[in-house]
Amino acid sequence: MAGLEGKTLERYEIRRLIGKGGMADVYEGYDLAVERTVAIKVFKREDEELLRRFIREARLMASLKHEHLVPIYDTGSGEIDGLTWYYIVMPFMEGGTLRARIRQGPLPLSEACRSLREIAAALDYIHRQGIIHRDIKSSNVLLDADGHCYLSDFGIARTTSDATQLTSTGNVLGTVEYVAPELFEGDNRANVRSDLYSLGVLLFEMVTGRLPFTAENPIAVVTMHISKPPPPPHLYAAHVSPAVEQVILKGLEKRPELRYSSASELAEAFCQAVASSSRALARGATAQQYQGWTQASTYSAGTPGTGAPQPLVLRSMGSIGTPTPPQPTSYPPPGQTNAAATVPPPLGAGYPDYGQQQHYRQYEQYGAQPGTASTRRGLFIASLALVLLLAISIPLALAFFSSPHQGTNGSPTVSSGQASGQQQTPTATPNLTATAQAQATATAEAQVQATRTAVAGATATAQAQATATAAVWQTATAGRLVYSDALTNADNPATRQANWDRSGHCLFGGDGYHVVQAVSLTTTQRICHEANYSYGNIALSVQMKILSGASGGVFIRLHPNLFSLSSGYLFEVDSQGRYRIARFDGGIEQPFADWASSPALQSGAGVANTLQIIANGSSLSFYANNVYLTTVSDNSYTDGNIGFLGTAGDNDANVVYSNLAIYALS
């Protein structure tokens, strides 16, 4: 798209880039025919399926007429420098995006009420037309010069009567921070209620200035949507009354049937709660009393009003480096933007420059401190040891004190108030030994129950993580399959077209593509790669077996040279069930962290592991056998070849790769 500024597309003068998306870019332009400033959304991909989606969006938006939907002035195509460009022309919105407005701070409740009513009216309108938006978020809401809201971007919308979907049933489209939890489970399709959940997330964001669920990777965010209650909004906006908070939390109910039935119903309930709170203040409630409303309200794990929520801090399985607590979502650097830009859903950690202190306040409010997994395991073991010690010592102590105390001469001691030599009158005492045994039994039973509870909790967490991983990987592979190869036949047309290395070190066999390296004093590693394709944002999956040698791995965004001084990113796995991620710069290795073990990896010679990578911009996420491992962020390389590694150790390396699949991220 470089170089379109200053060009003329049909009757439109393209002035400057104001927004970038995965499918199209948005420019500020000037309509020479009617002499007005406009926003021009220009398709930029060489992909027929995405072009059909772009044209479908143009037709859909042009067919809709509502005062709070972005209108379409014109659509069409034209040539610039011999290339055909498809475009959608819309009004230029001087107020930018709602996301940019929220970056300046949470909206006052009265402003949030007005904005919500306007967005809700547009959303209910498209629902009545049988259209599901599927991407309700703050960056898809435009503001005019007076701050009024307009819903935009129907790139992934669908009609309820569609016989053919843009993606197969079950694939999740949208931005992960806004997607309804039911869409990550089973084959549930987006509907009115899932759009309303996204609207509830947007309302939370408008009122608090942050999203309800944020974390360092999308799997954790998905898991939170599925299993974690949203945090009470008053933790981030102390002026929110219980009535307002109750409306917001109902909009974020996990079960679709418990949410509001329409967007306008949510908006009216919110505005009425805001009005009643304002009237209470007008009647003389002090600010301290107003803030005290929230202190009187407590929240349970599922339903408002019955306890305090506990934070769910998910950490990657065998993650590289020291785990960090989830970071709040923030936004790209501000610029002059028009919200007609489509912002692709983030697949990695949030931007770290927004709301850092807010995150630590979250831990303080919940009464939790971020810590490492090893620290928590140590505390659990110490607590268990203490319970066992008490279980043993209490019965012994009680038994000791229940026995008659002997004096120094071996005679029983005399109770005070009775003369020595006077006959003692026995008194009835409880059977302390039996009591102690009962207490010990109760303690043991409690311990067993606690263990059962802990196991059940761990099982639930593991199930949630597995569901989340499957959902994220399924979403990532919803794009076009750009290359699929069993790698078992050098004469396969797809294999020949990719132009894989073929030599004594890079061999095709009936079981896959072998990378062979002999033990040597000069080099221990061998890289075999394809030379004809350059990949940027992709989801990749390949099966690897280390038949012999120390390790194997996958290179992405690889830039080889004649001297084998390669550049790119390496996902390396050894035969002991360990992995690491590294960047290579001209043959110089820059590890992101040292080797880490993971139970997701199978160990031993000849054992297969499926290695999976999602590369989206600077975010690189790594998986093994459908289990999430870690995410790193680095923008040194944006595209390149695919390569495979073989590393010799005490014996020659022979690592075989098969069943390669590469998907373009949509």
Using DSSP's 3-state secondary structure scheme, residue 222 falls into helix
Where are the strands (E) in 139-198, listed by range? 141-143, 149-151, 158-159
Which residues neighbour 311 within 8 Å (Cβ) at sequence distance 6 or greater? 231, 362, 363, 366, 368
Burial of residue 427, with CB atoms counted within 10 A of its CB: 0-12 exposed, 13-18 middle, 19 or more buried: exposed
Report the half-sphere exposure of 508 (CA within 13 A, side-chain side).
17
| Cβ-contact 237, 286 below 8 angstroms | no
Q: Per the annotation, does 7 bind a ligand?
A: no
Answer whether 23's CB lies under 8 Å from 54's CB.
Answer: yes
Residue (of 233, 224, 297) closest to 270 by Cα position: 233
For the chain, state the CA radius of gyration.
31
CA distance 487 to 491: 10
Residues facing 151 on adjacent strands = 69, 141
Beta-carbon-side half-sphere exposure of residue 91 (alpha carbons within 13 Å): 16
The amino acid occupying position 525 is Q
> What are the structure tokens assigned to 236, written together?
């981030």
Residue 240 backbone phi and psi in degrees, to 5: -75, 125
For 76-90, letters b (16+ CB in 10 Å) and e give eebeeeeeebbbbbb
What residues are annotated to the active site? Answer: 135
The DSSP letter of residue 185 is S
User: What whole-number distance in Å separates Cα of residue 334 and Cα of residue 332?
Assistant: 6
Q: What angle do CA 48, 50, 54 make, to 5 degrees?
A: 115
505 by Cβ neighbours in 10 Å (0-12 / 13-18 / 19+) ranks as middle
Token representation of residue 356: 């850092």
Which is it for strands 653-664 and 8-9: parallel, antiparallel or unpaired? unpaired
Asked if residues 214 and 346 have their Cβ atoms less than 8 Å apart, the reply is no
- Burial profile 302-311: b = 16 or more Cβ within 10 angstroms, e = fewer: eebeeeebeb
3-state helix, strand, coil in the chain (%, to 5): 35, 25, 40
As annotated, the binding site for ATP includes 41
As annotated, the binding site includes 41
